[in-house]
Amino acid sequence: MSSIPEQVASLVVEAISGIERANTLGELKAREADFLGKTSTIASLQASLRDLPAGDRKDAGRAIGEARSDMERAVETRRVALAAVERRRLLDAERLDLSEVTNPPRIGHVHPIRQISEWLEDVFVGLGYTVEEGPEIESDWYNFEALNMPDGHPARSMWDTLYLDVGEPETVVLRTHTSPVQIRTMLTQEPPIYMVAPGKTFRRDTADATHLPMFHQIEGLVIDRGITFADLAGTIELFVKAMFGEDRTTRLRPSFFPFTEPSAEFDISTPDGGWLELGGCGMVHPNVLRAGGIDPEEYSGFAFGFGIDRLAKERFELSDIRELVTNDIRFLEQF
Amino acid sequence: MLVLHSWLSEFAPGLAHHDPEVIGDAMSALGLCCEEVTRYGGQLDGIVVARVLELAPHPDADRIQLVQVDAGDGQPLQICCGAFNMAVGDLVPLATLGTTMPSGMEIARRKLRGEYSNGMLCSGSELELASDDSGIMILDAASVPGTSLSEALEIEPDALFDLDLTPNRPDALSVIGVARDLAAHFGTAFMLPSFELPTSGDPAESLATVDVQDGELCGRFTALVLSDITVGESPDWLATRLTRCGMRPINSIVDISNYVMLEFGQPSHTFDIDKVTDSTLRIRRANQGEMITTLDGAERALIPTDGVIADGNDDVIGIAGVMGGASTEISATTTRVLLEAAWWQPTSIGATSKRLGLRSEASSRFEKGVDPNIASAACARFAQLAIATGATLHPGEIVFADGSIPDRTPITVRPTRVNALLGSDISIEQMASYLDPIGFTAIAHGPDLLVELPSWRPDSTGEIDVVEEIARHHGYERLGKTVPSSGGRLGALTEIQRDRRTAAATLRALGVSEAKPMPFLAPGDLERFGIRTDAVSVTNPLVTEESVLRTSTLPGLVLSLARNAARRSTGVWLFEMGHCFAQGPGAETHEEWDELGIALAGVDATRAVAFATAVVASLGRPEVRVTSAEIAGLHPTRAATLTSGGMLIGEVGEVDPIVTEALGIAERVGWVRLDLDALFDIPKAVVTAAPISRFPPSDLDLALVLNEAVSAHVLVDALSSAHPLVTDATLFDVYRSEALGADVRSLTCSIRLQSADRTMTDEDLTEARASLLSVAAALGAELRS
């Protein structure tokens, strides 16, 4: 009978070969039990140590210990390898084609008017302005009279007004412009005032490709000491460049609005060398400042206004602005 | 307003040297917005006079004939022509090869059914010289073949400016007004003609009487008498100018009146003096119910605010400033006329013309404000033109000059103020040089300017108006571009404005798209939708379908879904944030509020609640609670009110199926309406971060059978607060079956137990479970067996 170290050496060779041939984690577990378990050869050799003479016991014990470590290492190495294979097999089994998306989560779409409106608000907030609001049903006083258009003023005919069955006939209107918010702001805030007021406005008009009886405007109002017409021109140029790009420029042409003087229309340059009429503006008329409780000798100001629908039409190349209120989902989904 | 270059140049000869495009730009720079420049005469290049030498049928076409013409070189030139109105020897206009016609067509050598055509013979309409398109234009026999047509017809090149005028510039409704502004702009002379007219016969004063009884209505009144009138056709030059300026020639007298109105801005009226009783004109207000038949043949009833002209019998023969009467109208037999030009009170004319729905060229000018000092010159101009047609002017003017006209007291203008407002550095002399040529004559007055207000600029009454005149004539483009310094201001959205954006962003993330329906509804719509009907209405709607203002966002959104359904888009989810309106509690009041509506096609009421919950949660308001209720317009058994923090904030449910079916929507429509004003009034929940427990939680599910009469959220709320260890309780599943019974359902709730400060013991869990079952039992719920 060979010595224990000799037996151990051949056992290790046999065991490592057996372990490496295990092809599944189950097989490996069985081999582990065979070679390292309670009934394994190495276990019985270990048990036989106590029968050895004391002088041999130490060498035999060391040989058994090393063999055990070698086998355990082999098991562990094989386990890692087999576990990787096994995981891979499981992962392969759950392979997905990531283009098979069904029932995707929905995302809603923000109306183009809101997009433009919020964009304008953000530009002016960045310039230090606040955003003011007002009612859509207005009194004749806010919509006309306080804006330097007393009853019977010929300029009232510039607006095709929708009157409402509230109060005395023709005293309550759907606001024809966002300008009443100027007066409301002046009456509730002390100068300096730097504000914009976006909102719905109404006119007695038949809906067609370029007109709607309901549309959207944004109004701007600045009142401070020493505000000039040049400040107006410069502010308009600044926001147009912010909105349309640095290469755009603006020009002001004399015009008429009862609530501003001097008044102007403002145009922006187009890439093809032409001009696009965008809105109206001017220095706040002294009578309007007075109606707002502000002394025109102490303060001056400018105001401007333009159509948001019109801007949306230009920006998104809308062929028919009625799409803005028809709410066809195929239209809305484009934004 | 249409105005001709040649006409302007009569008053400002320097303008003749400026290109029409340059003048058009100058007009726009002055605030007389020039929308279009049309040129005349220039487009006759290539058109020559030709003589017809021979006419022969086309061998192969019935509707074309072969015309041999002499185009000036004596050689026959063959033209194929579709007209047959000319004869051999006639002179006709020929468009030679290479000519571009006014229509844009290019003339080239062409073969028509085998025969060459070396040009085109033209009709008056093809050359845009006349409206006649019945045949080739036959020219005056004195023309010489080969000469250019413009030379043969003595056509002077001209240009027509189409001005879009603002209501503050009534002066620009006349040739002289536009010419005055342009002359100042170009620094060229402007002159009004002076008239020295031959007169004969009895003085006007002896032939007619003018009696102005209302000097408020009639500020100025000027009249002339003319005899030997022949009512015929106007000379070509005058008819052409009128036509180009958009007025149809009628007869020599009416045409002169229109011509003078375009030129001086002063409307005038001619009476057949022999038809005016006692040759007397009486200017007064109408009596209630007085009748007149106006020139257009309509019979009109008058009211005491209308201004009228009556005759010696006190019968009304004209509506002041609006329209004359038929009884004294000029006719072919008229030989003597009384011409009147007046200044009428603008608001009175405006009121009458609006009331009668009669807006004439005259009334719109009077309404905007005619120069009260121009009548005499306008009448003289009329007489001058009438004399040229053989009329005789009687000596003397009948003038009333005692009525009220606008105050034109000179005003003080502070040059420092002008520069402060414009951000400019314009000298006082420069200012005066801008103002003088346009009648705002300025003289130095200490450091200031004393400025006259011209009678033709009724819009100008104060210093600020003069600032604008200085800016206009200085040039807006020469004023600077600066930005006011922000002075440390912070711009920001308000909390409500940020909340609205948050709500929109939440809905977008939930897959809902934003709609913007118009707020107008048709009468009966509110009833049809079963919602509140105390609406505000438009009193002057253009179409009745748009006469009622919505009392909810529901109709607009549901109608939008219906439109989508009709176009086969189903499952559409829309929201809108917008104002709604209703009559107020008092007779003269109204309500207006801000509302969020969400309409969800294919979504049932309980899913709709989830949308409301998400929106309110994203706005930081207390969790939404629903209370079943019957709500107008909604499914009667699938609707609830919404509260947050105990405040009513809206409603949720499904749109009444009767409504959706009637609109052809096949799906259920989930509905949420939030009253944003109420919602934003609720304080946001104050966030103080609670410590996160480090100890292990324990989860349990309880299937509880609960009577249908008790809302699920009542049970969930009770479970949530059943025991201190409960950190979360959510509804997880709902199950109904016959085995359970008809009036009950099983609600499975997931409950998480966790302690903030220790690991829970078995006793803890048992105790908590007992508490949960006990609160459930208190609601009549038992564990499902």
What pLDDT, in 10s, does the model give residues B245-303?
999 999 999 999 999 999 999 999 999 999 999 999 999 999 999 999 999 999 999 99
More confidently predicted of B686 and B693: B693
Alpha-carbon distance of B379 to B373, in angstroms, equals 12
Q: B775 pLDDT exceeds 90?
A: yes
* Contact criterion met (CB below 8 Å) for A177 and A159: yes
CA of A85, closest CA in chain B: separation in Å?
35
Alpha-carbon distance of B462 to A36, in angstroms, equals 113
Does B31 sit within 8 Å of A254, measured CB to CB? yes
Amino acid of residue A234: G
Which residues of chain A are within 8 Å of residue B169 when distances are taken between CB atoms? 256
Long-range contacts of B77-82 (CB under 8 A, 24+ apart): B77/B50, B77/B118, B77/B119, B78/B115, B78/B116, B78/B117, B78/B118, B79/B117, B79/B118, B79/B119, B79/B120, B79/B121, B80/B110, B80/B112, B80/B115, B80/B116, B80/B117, B81/B117, B81/B120, B81/B121, B81/B136
Does B346 sit within 8 Å of A154, measured CB to CB? yes
pLDDT given for residue B757 in this prediction: 92
Alpha-carbon distance of A262 to B473, in angstroms, equals 12
- What angle, 0 to 180 degrees and rounded to 10, lies between the N-to-C axes of helices B252-264 and B361-368? 30
Alpha-carbon distance of A164 to B540, in angstroms, equals 8
Using H for helix, E for strand and C for coil, what is the string for B40-100?
A: ECHHHCCEEEEEEEEEEECCCCCCCEEEEEECCCCCEEEEEECCCCCCCCCEEEEECCCCE
Using CA atoms, how far residue B227 sits from A190, A287, B211, in Å, is 69, 52, 22
Average pLDDT score, chain B: 94
| DSSP β-ladder status, B307-310 and B299-301 | unpaired
* Contact criterion met (CB below 8 Å) for B556 and B655: no
- CB-nearest to A231 from B482, B579, B584 is B482
Share of chain A above pLDDT 90, in %: 73
Token code pair at residue B360:
């004439």
A-to-B residue pairs, Cβ atoms closer than 8 angstroms:
243
- Which of B482, B490, B676 best probes binding to A when mutated, by most A CB atoms within 10 angstroms? B482
Confidence bin at B148 (pLDDT 50/70/90): confident
Alpha-carbon distance of A264 to A260, in angstroms, equals 9
On whether any CB of chain A is under 8 Å from the CB of B305, the answer is no
pLDDT (average), residues B761-770:
96
Amino acid of residue B198: P
Q: DSSP H helical segments within A189-226, as ranges?
A: none
Task: Using CA coordinates, name the residue in chain B closest to A253.
Answer: B29
Alpha-carbon distance of A5 to A63, in angstroms, equals 6
Nearest to B625 by CA among B648, B594, B597: B648
Q: Which pLDDT tens digit goes with each residue over A250-294? A: 999 999 999 999 999 999 998 898 898 999 999 999 999 999 999
pLDDT given for residue B487 in this prediction: 67
Q: DSSP H helical segments within B576-691, as ranges?
A: 605-618, 657-662, 676-681
- Which of A111, A181, A222, A324 best probes binding to B when mutated, by most B CB atoms within 10 angstroms? A111
Residue count of chain B: 785
Does A328 sit within 8 Å of B564, measured CB to CB? yes
Q: A317 pLDDT exceeds 70?
A: yes
- Which of A125, A139, A165, A302 best probes binding to B when mutated, by most B CB atoms within 10 angstroms? A165
Task: Using CA coordinates, name the residue in chain A closest to B536.
Answer: A165
Of A238-247, B464-473, B543-552, the poorest mean pLDDT is in A238-247
Does A167 sit within 8 Å of B504, measured CB to CB? no
pLDDT (average), residues A140-154:
89
On whether any CB of chain B is under 8 Å from the CB of A110, the answer is yes
Q: B394 pLDDT exceeds 90?
A: yes
pLDDT (average), residues B382-408:
95
Q: B59 pLDDT exceeds 70?
A: yes
Q: B391 pLDDT exceeds 60?
A: yes
- CB-nearest to A128 from B28, B491, B514 is B491
Alpha-carbon distance of B579 to A135, in angstroms, equals 8
Q: A1 pLDDT exceeds 60?
A: no
On whether any CB of chain B is under 8 Å from the CB of A259, the answer is no
Which residues of chain A are within 8 Å of residue B367 when distances are taken between CB atoms? 154
Does B569 sit within 8 Å of A328, measured CB to CB? yes
Nearest to A92 by CA among A81, A84, A100, A82: A84
Beta bridge partners of B392: B227
Tell me what ipTM this predicted complex has: 0.86
More confidently predicted of B516 and B126: B516
Contact residues, A window 295-324, toward B, CB-based 8 Å cutoff: 300, 324
Please name the residues in contact with B409: beta carbons below 8 A apart, sequence gap of 6 or more: B453
Nearest to A85 by CA among A32, A31, A26: A26
Alpha-carbon distance of B426 to B443, in angstroms, equals 16
Share of chain A above pLDDT 70, in %: 100
pLDDT given for residue B587 in this prediction: 75
Nearest to A138 by CA among A113, A162, A157: A162
- CB-nearest to A192 from B465, B487, B493 is B487
Q: Which pLDDT tens digit goes with each residue over B486-533? A: 667 888 999 999 999 999 999 999 999 999 999 999 999 999 999 999
Half-sphere exposure of B59 (CA within 13 A, CB side): 4
Nearest to A88 by CA among A17, A28, A29, A25: A25
On whether any CB of chain A is under 8 Å from the CB of B475, the answer is no
CA of A94, closest CA in chain B: separation in Å?
28
Residue with token string 């009648």: B439
- CB-nearest to A229 from B31, B422, B514 is B422
Average pLDDT score, chain A: 92
Does B350 sit within 8 Å of A254, measured CB to CB? no
Does B589 sit within 8 Å of A166, measured CB to CB? yes
Does B573 sit within 8 Å of A256, measured CB to CB? no
Confidence bin at A2 (pLDDT 50/70/90): confident
Does B347 sit within 8 Å of A224, measured CB to CB? no
Which residues of chain B are within 8 Å of residue A286 when distances are taken between CB atoms? 462, 464
Which residues of chain A are within 8 Å of residue B581 when distances are taken between CB atoms? 136-137
DSSP state of B774: H
On whether any CB of chain B is under 8 Å from the CB of A82, the answer is no
pLDDT given for residue B41 in this prediction: 74
Of A149-153, B199-203, B431-435, the poorest mean pLDDT is in A149-153
Which residues of chain A are within 8 Å of residue B468 when distances are taken between CB atoms? 254, 261-263
Task: Using CA coordinates, name the residue in chain A closest to B590.
Answer: A166
Q: B43 pLDDT exceeds 70?
A: no
DSSP state of B157: P
Phi, psi of B71 (to 5 degrees): -95, 20
Residue with token string 């502000």: A294
Judged on CB neighbours under 10 Å (0-12, 13-18, 19+), A102 is exposed
Q: What is the dihedral of CA B349, B352, B355, B356, to 10 degrees?
A: -110
Angle of CA points B142, B147, B151, to nearest 5°: 80
- Read out DSSP for B684-727? PPPP-PPPPP-SPPEEEEEEEEEETTS-HHHHHHHHHTSSTTEE
Q: Which pLDDT tens digit goes with each residue over B697-746? A: 999 999 999 999 998 989 999 999 999 999 999 999 999 999 999 899 99
Alpha-carbon distance of A127 to A220, in angstroms, equals 12
Q: A154 pLDDT exceeds 90?
A: no
Q: Which pLDDT tens digit goes with each residue over B413-472? A: 999 999 999 999 999 999 999 999 999 999 999 999 999 999 999 999 999 999 999 999
On whether any CB of chain A is under 8 Å from the CB of B777, the answer is no
Q: A205 pLDDT exceeds 80?
A: yes
